Amino acid sequence: MAKHTAWYQLNFGWLRPRPRRRFKDRLFRFLFRHKKDLPLKTAIANAIDTCIQKGILEDVLLRNRAEVLHMLLTEYDEKKHRRDTYKEGYDDGKQAGYSVGEQAGYSKGEQALLEAMIRKKLKCGKDIAVIAQELEMEPAVIQEIIERISG
């Protein structure tokens, strides 16, 4: 867990992680856009003002403006934030890839099982209509599978 996240949980424990993350991302996007022209403290103060004007955690920023400013100045690490953001996106993409791959694997496994059952029933000399009835499928579907596996 990042150091600044722990600080938020300690001091603003009633905040949920998702809105806080979206708030920080918006704040830092604004901050980085203006960081080159302004001193860091001024850029952070401008970012906080903009968030207040746009209603992004307005009540928290109005009550704890000095604490938030201090935290951003002392505990924020730009490289670490970018690395963490990249890692979160990478992990989400990796998990989505696993889910898609897992689903594709199940589909292929079910198809392979069906083909194996049809082969076995054909070796026993059963007719397409009998195989379709036993597997509770349409004879046309069984015929397509037979053509595919014998072709």
Tens of pLDDT, residue by residue over 34-49, are: 556 677 778 778 888 8
pLDDT of residue 3 exceeding 80 = no
**Together in a domain, 123 and 68:** no
Of 56, 29, 58, nearest to 43 by C-alpha is: 29
86 is a domain residue = no
Whole-number CA gyration radius for the chain: 29
For residue 33, tell me if it sits in a domain: yes
Model confidence at 99, pLDDT cuts 50, 70, 90, reads confident
Is 94 inside any structural domain? no
- Mark whether 10 and 72 lie in a shared domain: yes
Buried b (16+ CB within 10 A) or exposed e, 62-93: eeeeeebbebbeeebeeeebeeeeeeeeeeee
Count of structural domains, the chain: 2
Residue-range definition of the domain harbouring residue 120: 113-150
Q: Does residue 83 lie within any of the structural domains?
A: no
- The whole-number pLDDT of residue 14 equals 44
Which candidate, 72, 2, 8, places its Cα nearest to that of 41? 72
Total length of the chain:
151
